Amino acid sequence: MTKQPLRILVYGDVNLNLIDGSAIWLTSVVHMLNQDPNIEVDVLLKRSIVKPEVTASIKQLDRVRFIDVFTEDSTKKDEPYYEKKVLQPEEAAQLIHELVETKQYDMTFIRGFQLAYALSDYEHTMKKTWTYLTDFTHDSSAASQEELARLKKIADRSARMLCQTAEMKAYFETFLQTPKPFLILNPMIPNMREATPTFKRQAKRLVYTGKFAPLWYSAEILDALEKVRVRMPDVELKVAGDKFNQDPNNPNFRKEVTHRLQTDEGVHWLKGIPRADVETLIEESDIGISWRHPDLDDSLELSTKLLEYGALGKPVLLNRNKMHEMLLGSSYPLFVNSEDEFIEKVELAFTHPAIYKDAAERLYNMAKNYSFASTFERLRDAIWEMQKTTILFAGHDLKFIRMFMERFEADPSYRVLVDQWDGHKIHDVNHSKACLAQADVIFCEWGLGNAVWYSQHKLPHQRLIVRIHRQEKETPFPREYALDNIDRIILVSPYMLEEMHRLFGIPRHQMTVIYNAVDADKLDKPKQADDLTFRLGMIGMNPKLKRPDLALDVLEELLKTDKRYQLHFKGHHPKDVYWIGKREEESAYYEALLKRIEESDLRDHVHFDGHGNDVDTWLQSIGFVFSTSDLESFHLAPAEAMAAGSYPLIRHWTGAETIYPDELLVTDTSKFVDTILSYKEENEKLMADAKAYQAYARKHFALDRLYREMEQIISGKTHEQFATTLS
């Protein structure tokens, strides 16, 4: 089984019924993405396709689908845009957001400033969006503050910002800071043919493909051609394109240019034709035209037409400017910046084969780097990073991994599935198989029957991670692991790493230590009691190996000195834990414990504060937290206490020394009494000393830091060993 396909939504704020650069850009993006057979592309249409010339080349591609919301069977008939048969930027943004949310695309490609600004209000969608802009003021010193603020908002919220050239990237980076570097999405052309062009002229035929606009010198090119034909009457011009930009200074611009295209001698206007026919037209011609107004010389954009001419072995008449000199060399022979130069260079190219060949080869060699395949190869890794990694968490008890799960759920790079087991080896096999089929990474919380089953059923492309606590060492399950199928085993303490190696022979290099995590920010709340030195706490008192009886011993000793001491238990009351009643030894222990409290002065000094997700607020009024267990793999309570600024008191269980500071570990709980009494009525001193351990907790147990370590293991991007093995 291979990795899940990458699903991409593409939308440009462009009319795909007109042949121009922005429409060709969109089809080029689709062609580029189509280079990978594991990528599926949906193209959302701004308008229904009524002229197929632009889209014909992508409509026939496998794994490409058009989304047209204006059809007869559209589900959007009640939307205002349905009647108007066109999407405005705000409408398109809302629709893109809906599609991303409902169809779960991995990423979107968009083009258009107004569209991108409208979409920036949908932050979650923007985290999946690659944004390409050209329609903005390219001189930041001339841009309005409003435009710059909008650009900044778009850049801040986009998953990646795209620009056409290295020059534009450098320009953007002078005034826009983004979470990830800008990516260059260069102009693209079809993949180069295997056969190298001859670089020889066939006839005296010029060719122009593209839009008609004042700055594109539409009229000037026709004027120059007329004068060329005075000297060389057999020169002709083939023209393809049907998009006209308005001239604010000449309302008759379109009418005049259209008339000349239809009537000027030597001009053959083919209007809008499919991209494949454009290629044929260029092939049958000799010299491409990309002469433009000098106002465009400082543009940071590179003309796709220039690449198309070059890819087919044709030289081009184009402006001399910094970008063109950098791409083709300052000695490129067919630079033109005036009508006289245009006439001169046409004659030069048609009468000097060596000059023609030199210019054509320069264009051809430059164009090689701009093919669909070459462009995709440069962007492949960044594109595939956009796919959500599906993490499957499987186990019977997920409480210790819950915080990590919530972080992964909040991260747009991940999708979280859960296979909740009913016991160490009891599960819904069909559900597990369904989850397995969707997962990229399987995370077994506890290395019990879940780890055995998944290690025996994982698929070749999947990563399997197993997190072991302590009870696993008392079971046969680790011996049943298909160990070669487990990519990493996480232990919650260095001691447990060594135990798993000693008992089961698991190689140390396959294991990693990542401590249990605490939400240090959430726990860091101001204390709310003036008598913290008298307020004692214990988080969790079940099962009996937690030894709450020792906590009562400490309390009894303290009460002999002062009746103000109070002990608070946080967690399930023993009477509320169903399994205690089913285990005779456990049941007897807690009956005796509760009787001891009820039949002594302890009853006025012991409080059961119940279970709940409010440990952070509970700890605000607790000065000392007990850890009196016989056995633990980690014991989260001292870490929570430290992060909250409470003072932890830890009875030394085996392995505690690999997690907590030595000075906190004692073998005799009478030391608890001595420590507590040393702070009597000295709240400030207690809080100051606890502050040092708060810093220790942030360094070793803070969720933010441990999440980064966990993510590295999940992603498999590093082989760094976080384990600290015992010597």
Q: Which token pair is 121?
A: 């209000």
What are the extents of the domains in the chain?
6-184, 205-370, 389-513, 520-701
Amino acid of residue 667: T
Name the residue with tokens 């059961």.
608
- 310-359, pLDDT tens digit by residue? 999 999 999 999 989 999 999 999 999 999 999 999 999 999 999 999 99
What 3-state DSSP class applies to 661?
Answer: coil
pLDDT of residue 706: 95
Any long-range contacts for 403-407 (C-beta under 8 Å, 24+ apart)? 403/517, 403/519, 403/703, 404/517, 404/703, 404/706, 404/707, 404/710, 407/703, 407/707
Cα distances (angstroms) measured from residue 14 to each of 24, 183, 400: 10, 22, 50
**Torsion sign (Cα): 319, 322, 327, 332:** positive
What 3-state DSSP class applies to 395?
Answer: strand
**Does the 205-370 domain belong in CATH 3.40.50.2000?**
yes
pLDDT of residue 721: 38
Identical fold for domains 6-184 and 389-513, yes or no, is yes
Buried b / exposed e over 298-336, threshold 16 CB at 10 Å, is: ebbbbbbbbbbbbbbbbbbbbbbbebbeebbeeebbbbb
Name the residue with tokens 């559900």.
431
**Torsion sign (Cα): 312, 318, 321, 325:** positive
Which CATH number is 6-184's, of 3.40.50.300, 3.30.420.40, 1.25.40.10, 3.40.50.2000?
3.40.50.2000
Q: Give the list of residues 6+ apart from residue 58 with CB closer than 8 angstroms, or none.
A: 27, 30, 31, 34, 43, 64
Q: Are 567 and 596 in contact (CB under 8 A)?
A: no
Q: How far apart are CA 45 and CA 5, in angstroms?
A: 22
CA dihedral 489, 495, 496, 498 (to 10 degrees): 70
Question: How far does Cα 582 stand from its chain's mean position?
Answer: 49
Q: How far apart are CA 654 and CA 634, in angstroms?
A: 10
Q: How far apart are CA 52 and CA 155, in angstroms?
A: 34
Q: Which token pair is 1?
A: 């089984």
Name the residue with tokens 């969790």.
540
- 28-86, pLDDT tens digit by residue? 999 999 999 999 999 999 999 999 988 999 999 999 999 999 999 999 999 999 999 99
Cα distances (angstroms) measured from residue 641 to each of 409, 533, 538: 27, 14, 10
Positions of the chain with pLDDT lower than 50, given as ranges: 1-2, 718-727
DSSP H or E run through 98: helix 89-103
Task: Write down the CATH number for the domain with range 520-701.
Answer: 3.40.50.2000
**Does the 389-513 domain belong in CATH 3.40.50.2000?**
yes
Q: How far apart are CA 444 and CA 400, in angstroms?
A: 12
pLDDT of residue 717: 62
Q: How far apart are CA 568 and CA 579, in angstroms?
A: 23
pLDDT of residue 134: 81
